[in-house]
Amino acid sequence: MTATRGSVAGSGVPALPSGHPALRRLVATDPDAFARDHWGVEPLLTRSADLPSSFDDLFSEAAVDELVSRRGLRTPFLRMAKGGSTLTDRRFTRSGGTGAGIADQASDEDVLREFADGATLVLQGLHRTWEPVVDFAQQLAADLGHPTQVNAYITPPQNTGFSDHYDVHDVFVLQISGEKRWRIRPPVHPRPLRDQPWTDRREAVELAAQAEPLVETTLAPGDCLYLPRGYLHSATALGGVSTHLTIGVHTWNRHHLAQELVSAALARAAQDPEVRASLPMGADLSDPAALGADVELVRAALARALEDVDAADLTAAMVAASRGSQRAAPMGPLAQHALASSLRDDTALEVRPHLAPTLTPASSGGAVLRSRAGTVRVDEGDVAAVRSFLEVGTATAGHLGLDLARRLVLAGIAVAA
């Protein structure tokens, strides 16, 4: 396996870059085999004995208590559900009191009461609120090439937080503590898009839930279950409290390409004066026959434009969408300010992880550096140094030049190595 994307021999599936440290913690199979046999297609259960380590370093029941009781967690970063229904926020949130009177903060007492009464606690967006999960989620997104999000589900004994449903994103389920019985059934709507939730097919889902499961298994601590989007599932905690992480993978799909293709074709078609022409005065927009000739003209123009669009035309839009789907690695503003103030020639710098930078020539000279940290103009004399820094990944402040290094540090591009 090489560090660049090639293809798996005879499969037509792109070969994944080497490494994949986050993915290898979740599946025991080779990453290329996972990409070929399971990615977006088939569930995969991996037992803890076959994985390199447990998930205790990522999350724990102690982490749940800290987030709920000491972090001032607010909705929508937490919710609670029981019997397949989500509880209203006011049942488990209160004001923070004097000096922090925000009304939707987690209430220790109310969360405890609802949990003891059988409600599942859901901590949402842990990829933004819990440091080990932040780092792992970003690395997994880099491994997969698709954005990720992470929620935690804490379920009381013998309770089911959510009834049978499907997700519109792939998921990795990481069992943290306790045991949970999972029932998995085939999709009623394969590969659903983000705007095709299970509630749109509630009757089909409820009917399918009466059939024998495709898989019924118990997850124990350290086990990991991969489910492609669309697979029906439900889970019940067994003898004790069950805690698991769900990593949602919001996959880029061909429908995204179709949207960008249509957008690019519309932009091309707009160059045709005939497409920009006004409809006849007094046109009856309710009469299909009256619009027929105009529809055919536009259809032909769009067909020509679609033929003219190639993959390169879609790259910039897809890169921008990908850049906006995740954040760069966390960066302390005060630490970064101190770094900028203390740069010396031998200060070691590196490109901020998960930055997704691109450097493109500017029409007026120099270049434009776009990344998850924003957009930075690069002077002509600095382009070579910046390009080398982005390609190599490290440099000393003296090699970059102290002025340029300071600007990159304050722009959130360069961080301490």
Domains of the chain with bracketed CATH: 1-251 (2.60.120.650), 254-323 (no CATH), 333-416 (no CATH)
Structure confidence at residue 96 (pLDDT): 87
From the list 41, 34, 47, 44, the residue with the least C-alpha distance to 1 is 34
Q: Can you give the pLDDT at residue 1?
A: 29
Contacts of 291 (CB under 8 A, 6+ apart): 279, 283, 285
Which residues 6+ apart lie within 8 Å of 159 measured at CB? 82, 118, 119, 120, 236, 237
- pLDDT one-digit tens code per residue, 186-201: 999 999 999 999 999 9
Q: What pLDDT, in 10s, does the model give residues 307-353?
A: 999 998 899 899 999 999 999 999 999 999 999 999 999 999 999 99
Longest CA pairwise span in the chain (Å): 75
Contact 146, 176 (CB under 8 A): no
The Cα 170–Cα 388 span in angstroms is 36
Which residues face 371 on adjacent strands?
374
Number of helical (H) and strand (E) elements in the chain, helices listed first: 15, 19
Q: What amino acid is encoded at 197 in this protein?
A: P
Rounded to an integer, what distance in angstroms lies between the CA atom of residue 227 and that of residue 213?
Answer: 14
> Strand, coil or helix: what is 1?
coil
- At 222 the three-state DSSP class reads coil
Give the whole-angstrom CA distance, residue 236 versus residue 156: 9
Q: What pLDDT is attached to residue 256?
A: 96
Q: Which residues contact 278 (CB under 8 A, 6 or more apart)?
A: none
Could you give the angle at the alpha carbon of 138 between the alpha carbons of 125 and 41, nearest 5°? 85
3 state SS of 118: coil
Question: What pLDDT sits at residue 16?
Answer: 60
How many whole angstroms separate alpha carbon 301 and alpha carbon 270? 9
Q: Using CA atoms, how far apart are residues 271 and 317, in angstroms rounded to an integer?
A: 19
Could you read off the pLDDT tens digit of each residue along the chain, which spans 417 residues?
223 333 333 444 455 656 899 999 999 999 999 999 999 999 999 999 999 999 999 999 999 999 999 998 999 999 999 887 899 999 999 998 888 889 899 999 999 999 999 999 999 999 999 999 999 999 999 999 999 999 999 999 887 767 899 999 999 999 999 999 999 999 999 999 999 999 999 999 999 999 999 999 999 999 999 999 999 999 888 888 999 999 999 999 999 999 999 999 999 999 999 999 999 999 899 999 999 999 999 999 999 999 999 998 899 899 999 999 999 999 999 999 999 999 999 999 999 999 999 999 999 999 999 999 999 999 999 999 999 999 999 999 999 999 999 999 999 999 999
Helix orientation angle between 288-308 and 254-269, rounded to the nearest 10 degrees? 110
